[in-house]
Structure 1
Amino acid sequence: MTLYFLVKYLHVLGAIVILGTGTGIAFFMLMAHRSGDAAFIARTAATVVVADMIFTLTAVLLQPVSGGLLMMLSATSPTEHWLLTSLALYAVAGMFWVPVIFMQMEMRDLAQAAVEKGHALPPRYFALFRRWFLFGIPGFGSVMTILWLMIAKPF
C-alpha cells in the first residue's frame, strides 16, 4: 500500500466517523427528546457530549491534516474549485457544529437539573432543542456536500 492510499483511507475513514457520529447523535438526541423523560434526556445528552468530544472532534481535527497530505501527495492545486468549495463548506459546518456542542451541554444540564428538582423540562430546554435541530441542517448538509465534492470533483 502506498502512502497516498493509506492517507486516503484515513481521510475517508474520518469522513465516515464525522457522518456516522453526527447521524447517531442526531438520532439518539431526537429519540430522547421525543420521550419527554428528563432523566433519559440527561443521560443521552451526557453520552452525546462525550461521543462528540472523542469521535467527532478527533475526526474534525484530523480531516484537514489528511486532506492537506492528500493534496501534497497528489499534486492537487489548492485553487481547484471543488476543493475551495469544500473548504468553505467545512468552515460553514464548523460554524454550526461548535455552538451545537455548547447547546448539548446546556440541554444536558437543564435536563439533569429538572430531574434533581423534580421539575418539568424548562422552556429554555425546548428552545435549545429547536435551535440544535435547526443548526444540524446546514451543518450536516455541508458535510454531505463535501463528501460528494470529494468523490465527484465536479469542477
Structure 2
Amino acid sequence: MEYFVYKWLHILSSTLLFGTGIGTAWYLLFAVISRNVVVIAAVTRIVVIADWLFTGVTMIVQPATGFYLIHLAGYPLHSRWIMWSLALYLIALCCWLPVVWLQIRLRDLSAVAAATGGELPRAFWRCFTGWVILGAPAFFALLAVFYLMVAKPV
C-alpha cells in the first residue's frame, strides 16, 4: 500500500509539474505575441505565482518521491533508465532555475511598461528570448523522463 501511495504522489506531482510548465508557457507565449503590454503584465504576474506555487513544490516532491519509490521497489540506483532520468531531470532543473529569475524580470519590466503606458524595453525582449531558449530543453528533457518512467528500459 505504501508503494502505491507514493507512486500516486509521484504521478500527481509529475502531472502538476509538466502541466503547469506547459500551461504557463502557453499563456505567456501568446500574451507576448499579442504585444498588449497590459495583458503581458497580467499574465507574467500570474505565471510567476503559478511557477512558485506548483512548479517549485513539484520540483522538490518529484525527486523525493522518486528516490523513495526506487528504494521501495528495490531498483538499483545505477540502472541506466534511472541514471538517464536523473540526468534529464537535472537538465530541466538547471533550465528552470534561471527561468524563474527571467519570469520575475519579465513581470517587473512589463508592470512598469503597463503602469506608465510605455513600450516594453529591450531588456524585456532579451529576457523573453532567454526564457524561450531555456524552456525548449527543459520541455524535451521532461518528455524523455516521462518515457523512461513508463518504459523503464534496461
Question: What is the TM-score with the length of structure 1 in the denominator?
Answer: 0.96
Instruction: Give the C-alpha shift of residue 117 in structure 1.
Output: 2.1
* 1:77 match: 76
Amino acid at match of 1:5: F
Distance in 2 separating the partners of 1:123 and 1:57: 28
Stretches of 4+ aligned residues off by more than 6 angstroms: none
Residue 91 (structure 1) aligned with residue 86 (structure 2): no
Amino acid at match of 2:27: F
3-state DSSP class of the match of 1:78? coil
Residue 24 (structure 1) aligned with residue 12 (structure 2): no
How do 1:7-86 and structure 2 match up within 5 A? 7-86=6-85
Q: Unaligned 5+ residue runs, structure 1?
A: none
Q: Unaligned 5+ residue runs, structure 2?
A: none
Instruction: Give the C-alpha shift of residue 124 in structure 1.
Output: 1.3
Q: Identity rate of aligned residues, in percent?
A: 36
Instruction: After superposing the two structures, state which structure 1 stretch, 115-124 or 13-22, moved more.
Output: 115-124
Distance in 2 separating the partners of 1:68 and 1:87: 10
Distance in 2 separating the partners of 1:33 and 1:46: 13
Residue 129 (structure 1) aligned with residue 136 (structure 2): no
Structure 1, residues 108-139: CA drift from partner, whole Å, max 9, x if none?
11111112222111111112111101111101
* 1:148 match: 147
Q: RMSD of the TM alignment (CA)?
A: 0.8
Distance in 2 separating the partners of 1:82 and 1:152: 9
* 2:4 match: 5
